Amino acid sequence: MSDMLIDYYKAIEDSSRKMLEAAQAKDWDGVVRYEGACAVLIEELRFKSQECELPPEHRKEKTVIMQRILRNDAQIRCLAEPWLAQFEHMFEGQPQMMH
């Protein structure tokens, strides 16, 4: 069971890579879809990691995977900033509604 924890990290990395590819293609719906998949995987990992520990032989691999995920995330944010700025610009001058 503890061997499968690394598989969650790999799956999260895969979704992160797909998010980046979607952002590069300006497929923001795809980014949101893969972000949702990442969120589900992260929750599952959080639950499973309470039951067992990542074996020492997988810890270095986990670190490398996490670094790649963080790089993907940084690139996604850079790609999303112009889109977010454009989105915010669309609502300039619109009355703010509070619920």
Per-residue pLDDT tens over the stretch 57-98: 999 999 999 999 999 999 999 898 876 666 666 666 655 555
Q: What gap in Å lies between CA 44 and CA 70, rounded to an integer?
A: 19
Q: What is the DSSP letter of 70?
A: H
The alpha carbon torsion through 52, 7, 37, 87 (nearest 10 deg) reads: 110
pTM of the predicted protein model: 0.80
Contacts (Cβ under 8 Å, ≥6 apart) of 96: none
Token pair for residue 23?
Answer: 């952002």
